[in-house]
Structure formats: structure tokens, C-alpha cells
Amino acid sequence: MAARSIASLTISFGLVSIPVKLYSATEASRAISFNLLHKTCGSRLKQQYICIKEEVPVEREDMVKGYEFAKDQYVMFTPEELKAMEEAGTHTAEVTEFVPIASIDPMYFDKTYYIAPDKGGAKPYALFAKALRESKRCALGRWAARGKQYIVMIRAVEHGLVMQQLMYAGEVRPFNEIEIPPTEVKDAELKLARQLIDAQTSKAFDPSEYTDTVAARIHDSIEKKVAGQEITMTEAPETGAQVIDLMEALRASLEKKGGAPAKAAKAAEPKAEAKEGRKGPKRVVAAAAPVAKKARSKA
């Protein structure tokens, strides 16, 4: 089935205007959703809003929106006031600057849209896509829709142009809010880790190599339920941190991938670490546990 355009807009690039159509790049409809039912009769439930002061249901026409500026204190806004604060849709994505694609952290990525040329836009569309592709840059701009203003990134891909809606700086938490203790990494450990990365490196990301096994399991359970079969619960996986030796975990992982690199790295370990080994191997918790578990499962 051919994709349906969700909007038409114009990309403003200097004095050049490119009429384009917008398409959703992802399919939320593929997500599995469940409805709330009455346990005794199986009927669908409807949502009700209850006034916590009067304890009575409130109809939608009696509702207004409010902002809590202090504990249990609100200022109310009418629908007309809220509408007046919205950004007017311009149907234009105005390019403000061009930056290297690598300079934008994927952490800022939000929704993704495909862009295709609209009537009369094929030539400037092709020109813009080729110029972006060869310059290895992307276009940044603003787009107003649904009452809001968005930052958008337009980049060239193999088949054309993609528009990426971006988060604002205030919507992304700074990493320095997370506490990470300083930890020493030894040369021998780093060498083994890099060899393991090299052994598991692919030329490019292939999304078809990854499947949603949880969705498949849910679909299978739904079909069994519809057919009147009982569903047996799967055994829960083991949890909890395992105390393991980091160097041994890295060596074991490498040996399962090839063997020789791990032995070469073992021979290259510094003498200082050999002395440390007489006192007993250093124990590492949690972080390396999944690596060790994977190595043992293949043994």
C-alpha cells in the first residue's frame, strides 16, 4: 500500500522554495495495545473524571485547564486563551543554518519524517538533496505545526530527504546530573576490550538483523488465547549482579570469537598486574556480568 502524505509544506532555502509532502517514517499502529475490560463480563470500560473535592463525575463541557503554580493552587485558562497562545502554523520549514551532521547528538532526535517533492518541486528537491549529501552537512530550521514551534533537521539519505524533529536544549537533561565515579582502566584491560569490539564489529547497521521477540511472543499468546488455548508462563531470567574477574571475562569472550587474540593479549600483560594476581584477582561487580554470562552460555 502506498504511503499517505500527512502534510504539505515548503522548505525555504535562501530565496529558493521547495514544495514538499511529509510522510510519517515510523508506524505507531504496529504497536500492540490492550483495552481495559470489566473482569466479570468482559465489556469495555470508559474513563471518567472525578472531582476530588465533591467526589462527583465531571462532564467534559464542565472542564477547564489549569496550571499549578504552587501546591494545590491553580490559574485557569479558557480554551480561547489557550488558543491565543498557540503558534500559528506556517506550513514552512525555514532553514536558518547548516551544520556538520556529526555535530548533532542523537540524544536530541525526536520524531522522524520522510520528505518527498510536491508538484513543481522535483528539481529544487534533487538539487538540495545532492548539495547536502556532498557537503556532509544538514540543514537546521524551524517549523510551526499543531500550535507549537519545532526545531527541525533536514538531512540527505540514499533515497532523498528526511526531516528530524529535534528536542530543545531544556528538554534534554545534562549528563553531569548523573554521578559516575572515577575509575582506572588498565592498558591490558583496554587492549582486550578493543579486541573484543573489533571481533564483533560489522560494516554497517542492518536493522533487519534485529527482531522484536517480545512482540512476536505477545502475538503468539494472543493467537493461542483466541483459539482457546492456555498460556504457560515463561521462566523468569536470573537477576542480580555477579561478581566476576573482568580480565577473565574479556579473555573468555575473545576466545569464543577466535581464541588467538586473547592469548596474545594475556602474554602482553604488564608485570605489575601479574604481581597483583598473586594477591588474588580483582573482583568487579555488575558492569561486566552480562559479558561473562554470555561467554559461559556458549561454552
- Domain-located, residue 206: no
- Domain-located, residue 93: yes
117 lies in the same domain as 193:
no
CA angle in degrees (0–180, nearest 5) for 138-144-149 = 85
- Residue-wise pLDDT for 136-165, tens only, equals 999 999 988 877 889 999 999 988 999 999
Residues 77, 211: Cα–Cα separation, whole Å? 46
Q: Sorting pLDDT into bands at 50, 70 and 90, what band is 260? A: low
Q: Sorting pLDDT into bands at 50, 70 and 90, what band is 292? A: very low
Contact yes or no for 280/244 (Cβ under 8 A): no
- Domain-located, residue 36: no
What integer pLDDT is reported at residue 13 of this predicted model?
A: 83
**What b/e readout covers 182-207, taking b as 16+ CB neighbours within 10 angstroms?**
eeeebebbebbbebbeeeeeeeeeee
CATH code of the domain covering residue 88: 2.40.290.10
Residues 196, 205: Cα–Cα separation, whole Å? 18
**DSSP strand pairing (161-166 vs 148-156):** antiparallel
169 lies in the same domain as 72:
yes
Q: Which residue has the cell 556529526?
A: 102
191 lies in the same domain as 127:
no
296 lies in the same domain as 191:
yes
Question: Whole-model pTM?
Answer: 0.63
Give the SS3 label for residue 169.
Answer: helix
263 lies in the same domain as 159:
no
Total domain count, the chain:
2
Residues in CB range of 177: below 8 A, 6 or more apart: none
Q: Sorting pLDDT into bands at 50, 70 and 90, what band is 4? A: confident
Contact yes or no for 49/33 (Cβ under 8 A): no
What integer pLDDT is reported at residue 236 of this predicted model?
A: 54
Half-sphere exposure of 53 (CA within 13 A, CB side): 1
288 lies in the same domain as 160:
no
Q: Sorting pLDDT into bands at 50, 70 and 90, what band is 299? A: very low
- Domain-located, residue 41: no
Q: Sorting pLDDT into bands at 50, 70 and 90, what band is 15? A: confident
- Domain-located, residue 211: no
Q: Percent of the chain having pLDDT more than 90? A: 34
- Residue-wise pLDDT for 185-208, tens only, equals 999 989 989 988 888 888 888 888
- Domain-located, residue 272: yes
Q: What is the mean pLDDT of the chain?
A: 80
255 lies in the same domain as 174:
no
Please compute the mean of the pLDDT values over residues 277-288 and round it to a whole number: 43
**Domain span at 194:** 187-198+240-299
Q: What cell was used for 76?
A: 485557569
191 lies in the same domain as 143:
no
- Assess whether pLDDT exceeds 60 at residue 265: no
- Domain-located, residue 208: no
Backbone φ, ψ for residue 218 (5° rounding): -65, -45
- Assess whether pLDDT exceeds 70 at residue 24: yes
Contact yes or no for 54/156 (Cβ under 8 A): no
Q: Sorting pLDDT into bands at 50, 70 and 90, what band is 255? A: confident
Give the helix ranges, DSSP H, for 11-168.
79-85, 122-135
Residues 263, 251: Cα–Cα separation, whole Å? 8
61 lies in the same domain as 174:
yes
- Domain-located, residue 255: yes
Contact yes or no for 174/107 (Cβ under 8 A): no
Q: Sorting pLDDT into bands at 50, 70 and 90, what band is 116? A: very high
What integer pLDDT is reported at residue 114 of this predicted model?
A: 95
117 lies in the same domain as 7:
yes
Q: Percent of the chain having pLDDT more than 70? A: 78
Name residue 298's amino acid. K
155 lies in the same domain as 194:
no
Backbone φ, ψ for residue 107 (5° rounding): -60, -25
- Assess whether pLDDT exceeds 50 at residue 291: no
Contact yes or no for 154/132 (Cβ under 8 A): yes
- Assess whether pLDDT exceeds 50 at residue 278: no
- Residue-wise pLDDT for 61-113, tens only, equals 899 999 999 998 999 998 888 888 876 667 889 899 999 999 999 999 999 99
- Residue-wise pLDDT for 207-231, tens only, equals 888 888 888 888 888 888 788 865 5
What integer pLDDT is reported at residue 88 of this predicted model?
A: 66
Please compute the mean of the pLDDT values over residues 242-262 and round it to a whole number: 68
Residues 200, 248: Cα–Cα separation, whole Å? 18
Q: Which of 117-121, 213-217, 231-235, 270-274 has the highest mean pLDDT?
A: 117-121
54 lies in the same domain as 191:
no
Helix axes 187-199, 246-257, angle to 10 degrees: 30
